[in-house]
Chain A
């Protein structure tokens, strides 16, 4: 019972923190729309062309803009020692990582969903495609949160090379984008592709707490 209370406490804190950082979320969304504009300016305003490639563009830009603020995943809690304090009060690093991933998913990635219908209007996508986009983004963003946790914890002690974190997220997000964008031509294979995506999400939900916790332990030992 006490344990569940602690978990809720952590969620509440994350919610408050993301509420105070709401500007950050909105600037990511702003970045997303600005990059859509830039894409459209570069490609021209041919309606047919935009409709065919719109989905791919939206997905890749969603990916890019949600990787922008991943660096902050653990940085603050690590630098001011909250991670150690939470660990000392009986939470393993794996649990902390899992809660962080879930709260990042709920409080940062899910609010991003509101921008998808707006972006779809800009590209004249059909309702079916918007629906697909929303469904795949919900699953894909869970994977992105896992990847973000891994790359952020990997780069806690990285003082020199800031772009490597983003590179790692993009590298492992290749399968997500293949299956998510492929879902539109799937037709009857719709559910199997969704299942593949959920499978990938579960794999990363399994790997990332272990990997991130190892990285965090390493970082804490070596500061």
Chain B
């Protein structure tokens, strides 16, 4: 927990020191929130998909616990991504929201997260609830590649990926470093919350 706190602080300092964009000015610093939260929103859903497949195939109860614990975290990351993107979009594009493929598919991801959370409250029987949610997650994972490739498939306002081109990242290292540190910080925070939630869930189940 201490480590993650340190990483968050280092990340914030790096963000503070990072250079301003000559076009975008100060608003470019929204990126250090926006991009890591978007990555983690996708990562969380990928983890849930993998755990759902494992849970359905091998009948391991732990994976259902993970699903339940992690869903709200993913929802928060997605919401953070959408809000920061919206705040970023207002000065850059002139609107809070455009009906762009990337934006819409991320909004759908948020809806899917919300449905998962609602489904957790819906069914009385635990077995039914867990498996239903797992199957729903698997079917909903169709959305993941759509989000990932939406910038390539459709001509959109949203800029294409600039970090994942590992050989020659089209981003200066002075901006890349704080971004990566912030990503690590975000994932550590997410991980800690997830571990706490999983522990709590296991304790609840033991007591019953």
Q: Give per-residue flags for A123-150: 1 if the beta carbon is below 8 A from chain B beta carbons, else 0.
A: 0000000000000000000000000001
B123 at the interface (CB under 8 A from A): yes
CB distance from A102 to the nearest CB of B (A): 20
Of A167, A218, A221, the residue contacting B132 (CB under 8 A) is: A218
Interface hit among B20-28, B69-77, B108-116: B108-116
Interface size on B, residues (CB 8 A): 19
CB atoms of A161 and B131 under 8 A apart = no
Of A154, A164, A174, the residue contacting B108 (CB under 8 A) is: A174
CB atoms of A158 and B123 under 8 A apart = yes
CB atoms of A215 and B132 under 8 A apart = yes
Q: A174-B108, A214-B131 are in contact. Are A222 and B125 (CB under 8 A)?
A: yes
CA distance A158 to B124 in the complex (A): 8
Closest to A208 in B: B139
Q: A164-B115, A164-B122 are in contact. List 16 more A-B contacts (CB 8 A).
A: A150-B139, A154-B135, A154-B136, A157-B123, A157-B124, A158-B123, A160-B121, A160-B122, A164-B119, A168-B115, A171-B108, A215-B132, A215-B135, A218-B132, A222-B125, A222-B127
CB atoms of A161 and B128 under 8 A apart = no
Q: A161-B118, A167-B115, A171-B115 are in contact. Are A222 and B139 (CB under 8 A)?
A: no
CB distance from B109 to the nearest CB of A (A): 11
CA distance A112 to B127 in the complex (A): 37
